[in-house]
Amino acid sequence: QTVSSLKKPLKQNEPCKRLALYYHDIMFNGTNVANATAATVANETRLGDFKFGKLVVFDDPMTKDAQLSTPVARAQGFYFYDMKTDYNAWFAYTLIFNSSDYKGTLNIMGADMMMEETRDLSVVGGTGDFFMARGIVTFRTDAVAGAAYFRVQMDIKLYECY
């Protein structure tokens, strides 16, 4: 029998793998080369008062705890602000694991609706230990220090594991 579409019973509360990590974004201010992990590559436009269009490239540490301890992964990619009436962002990036626990990458994209308590982005692919993975990453802002630093808890839930 031929079926034309798939409806599999995936359950949102039963991922096949789950990792909760903290993302630390330390903005380059022109002088903090040693510490900075992210830099502005295109300035905000004058469309609204919430940095619309500001584009940031990052190579950010991912840690197990909220403290900025030894990273267990790197997050490499970019985000930009994209709303006139509030702070709101859009992300695309790769999580790179190279530890005794995991070697491989996860590729992620989606909207970061910062005014929401939590927001979901898509894990659209993976390599290495995460070969062909798919899933969801739930963002929760954990700390903000003006324009200098912010920290996001990223709760990574994979629903396709191979």
70 binds a copy of itself (CB under 8 A): no
- For a copy of itself, the binding residues in 137-156 under the rule CB under 8 A are none
If you ran DSSP here, which 8-state letter would residue 12 be given? Answer: T
Q: What angle do CA 92, 129, 123 make, to 5 degrees?
A: 25
Quote the least distance from Cβ 63 to a copy of itself, whole Å. Answer: 18
Q: What is the rounded distance in angstroms from the CA atom of residue 123 to the CA atom of residue 156? A: 8
Residue whose CB is less far from a copy of itself, 48 or 63: 48
Kindly indicate which of the ranges 34-42, 63-71, 143-151 contains the residues binding a copy of itself, using the contact rule CB under 8 A.
34-42
Q: What is the rounded distance in angstroms from the CA atom of residue 22 to the CA atom of residue 68? A: 9
Q: Are 75 and 23 in contact (CB under 8 A)?
A: yes
Residue whose CB is less far from a copy of itself, 10 or 66: 10
Q: What is the rounded distance in angstroms from the CA atom of residue 158 to the CA atom of residue 135? A: 4
Residue whose CB is less far from a copy of itself, 49 or 101: 49
Q: Are 24 and 75 in contact (CB under 8 A)?
A: no
Tokens 């491989």 sit at which residue? 104
Kindly indicate which of the ranges 11-19, 64-72, 141-149 contains the residues binding a copy of itself, using the contact rule CB under 8 A.
11-19
15 binds a copy of itself (CB under 8 A): yes
Kindly indicate which of the ranges 55-63, 64-72, 141-149 contains the residues binding a copy of itself, using the contact rule CB under 8 A.
55-63
- Determine which residue in the list 19, 66, 68, 76 makes contact with a copy of itself, applying CB under 8 A: 76
Residue whose CB is less far from a copy of itself, 66 or 85: 85
Q: What is the rounded distance in angstroms from the CA atom of residue 161 to the CA atom of residue 159? A: 6
